[in-house]
């Protein structure tokens, strides 16, 4: 896991990068939906979770007038970018 933070213009930008399995592009918009879990081969979920975590994160960030995006591809990990207004 790698975490970095920077001020870009009037925004604070935080990156969270991991070396996990990655997420196929077709799921990038869906991963922030309530209860969504990236499908695995077959119908068995080996990874625990309810599919609520990223939905909660996006909800809080949106209420703070921020954004969250993801860049990821299978086999290459994920990079989540959070952008929030800088304090004035």
Report pTM.
Answer: 0.87
Strand ranges inside the chain, DSSP E? 2-8, 11-17, 67-72, 78-85
Q: What is the pLDDT of residues 16-63, one digit of tens each?
A: 999 999 999 999 999 999 999 888 766 665 667 888 999 999 999 999
How crowded is residue 36: how many other Cβ atoms within 10 Å of its Cβ? 15
Q: What is the pLDDT of residues 75-86, one digit of tens each?
A: 999 999 999 999
How crowded is residue 39: how many other Cβ atoms within 10 Å of its Cβ? 10
């Amino acid at each position: 896991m790698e975490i970095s933070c920077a001020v870009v213009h009037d925004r604070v930008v935080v990156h969270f990068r991991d070396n996990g399995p990655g997420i196929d592009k077709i799921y990038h918009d869906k991963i922030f939906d309530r209860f969504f879990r990236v499908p695995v081969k077959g119908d068995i979920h080996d990874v625990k979770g309810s599919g609520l975590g990223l939905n909660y994160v996006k909800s809080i960030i949106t209420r703070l007038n921020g954004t969250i995006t993801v860049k990821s591809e299978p086999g290459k990990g994920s990079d989540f970018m959070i952008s929030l207004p800088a304090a004035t």
